[in-house]
Copies of this chain bind each other. A is one copy, B any other.
Amino acid sequence: MKKGFFKLKTPKDVYKIIETFSNLGNEIVNIKDSLNRMCFKDIYSDVDLPNFNRSTVDGYAIKAKDSFGASESTPVFFKIIGEIKMGEKADYTLNDGEAIRISTGGMLPQGSDAIVMLEYTNELDKNTLEARKSVSPLENVIQVGDDIKKGQLVIKKGFKVRPQDIGMLAAIGKKFISVYKRPKVAIISTGDELSEIDKEIPLGKIRDVNSYTLSSLIKEVGAESICFGIVKDKFLDLKKKCEEALNKADIILISGGSSVGTMDITLDVINSFPYSEILVHGISVSPGKPTILAKVGNKAVWGLPGHVVSAMIVFLIFIKSMIKKIGGYYKYKYISEKSTFATLTKNIAKAQGREDYTRVKLFKGEDGIIYAEPILGKSGLISSMVKADGIIRIDMNSEGIEAGEKVEVILF
């Protein structure tokens, strides 16, 4: 049992270090499989959408000028020269005073520039149309390129692909898209006290929770998780697992590897690899102070506190950001895309020179206001994370937050 000597980095320092890790390059996927992937490069349209003038209503294609002055009391008459079926090329050319039947989505014939809606018409006989409304040029028409023009930007590099983006890609005929490769993240749980999660375990042991929470968090960010199971606190065992993990993953999380008992082993293992460098050895953050970040070749190795809550919070505030960074997401700097504001119910005191993350539960008071109730539990208690709806960040230089203050809650 040795004391750890930390030269603490600030969270800001750590984010700067995370920025130095580069992305993993790209792969081509079918747009069907591209939901929530990160677009690898700016995508431009090769086509005009639509590529023909379309009707937005059921009615009659006409020359708008022929309808001018038409009203309920003074209808205008047209000669019906045919019908354009949905999905067919409009082979007609319209002359003055002529009209053609057309459905929503139908292609406007040459010469027509507007549609008079069905509701304002009557077919007096097969060839004669009565129109009771004047329409302006382009009324009820989507013109070539109205949706998107040839050469126009469709999706930006680094943006997350949403359902509507996939729809746009389909609409312009792009079946495949270049996206950033998804980071693979390995989890190694260290600790002589750890046991697989069976129903009964020997007294003194605890079940390996971090493998489960961390792999779920990894999946939630859209990365791939690979569990390497439990390793005893022994140099050779950990070294062997790390080697395997370095071969298969881009980021390696060693949970429990930064607790005082195993920290030295973790550091020794990291240092035993060629091209390895310890970048972070302790962060001025609570919980999560005893966190290690190292680079082995071009891969990141994190030593995480064994406490489940500390490990989760370090993941949420730092590792998530790194996964997004190397996964190409332009928004990697934000901890959460979901947050809400609430009024704090209790004072939270804190030491200066350290950034704190406090778990809170949200509730609506009888006054209709949303309150954030701090959950003050020991960092080893997973129940505190189960009870919580999110976390609040308390600034490095703050001495705490008072009850009644408005806080931003980063939602889970």
Is B382 in contact with A171, judged by CB distance below 8 angstroms?
A: yes
Contact indicator A105/B193 (Cβ below 8 Å): yes
Q: B382 near A87 (CB under 8 angstroms)?
A: no
- Specify the chain B residue showing the minimal Cβ separation from A388: B164
Q: Are A197 and B173 neighbours in the complex by a CB distance under 8 Å?
A: yes
This chain: copies in complex: 2
Residues of B within 8 A of A69 (CB): none
| B142 in contact with A381 (CB, 8 Å) | yes
Given contacts A31-B212, A119-B3, A216-B35, contact A306 B104 (CB under 8 A): yes
**A199 contacts the other chain (CB 8 A):** yes
User: How many Å lie between the Cα of A405 and that of B103 in the bound state?
Assistant: 39
Q: How large is the interface on A (under 10, 10 to 19, 20 to 34, 35 or more residues)?
A: 35 or more
Contact between A173 and B192, CB atoms less than 8 A apart: no
Proximity string of chain A (174-207) to chain B, C-beta cutoff 8 Å, 1 when within and 0 when not = 1100000000000000011111011111111111
Q: Are B308 and A167 in contact (CB under 8 A)?
A: yes
Query: In the complex, what residue of chain B is closest to A167 when comparing beta carbons?
Result: B213
- Give chain B residues whose Cβ lies under 8 Å from the Cβ of A401: none
| Contact indicator A118/B1 (Cβ below 8 Å) | yes
Q: Contacts A1-B101, A194-B87, A219-B35 hold; do A207 and B162 have CB atoms under 8 A apart?
A: no
Contacts known (A168-B382, A193-B105); A204 close to B142, Cβ less than 8 A: no
Interface status of A354 (Cβ within 8 A of chain B) = no
| Alpha-carbon separation in the docked complex, A233 to B168 (Å) | 24
Query: With A and B bound together, what is the CA distance between A195 and B260 in angstroms?
Result: 63
Question: Could you say which of A16-24, A50-58, A274-282 contacts chain B?
Answer: A50-58
Beyond contacts A147-B381, A163-B217: 7 other A-B pairs, Cβ-Cβ < 8 A, are: A49-B383, A50-B206, A104-B306, A166-B212, A167-B213, A168-B383, A170-B212
A: residues with CB less than 8 A from B are 1, 3, 31-32, 35-36, 49-52, 54, 56, 58, 85-90, 101, 103-107, 118-119, 142, 146-148, 154-155, 162-175, 191-195, 197-217, 219-220, 233, 259-261, 306, 308, 312, 337-338, 378, 380-383, 385-386, 388, 412
The 10 closest A-B pairs by CB, nearest first: A87-B193, A163-B216, A167-B213, A164-B385, A170-B212, A86-B193, A89-B204, A87-B192, A107-B204, A89-B203
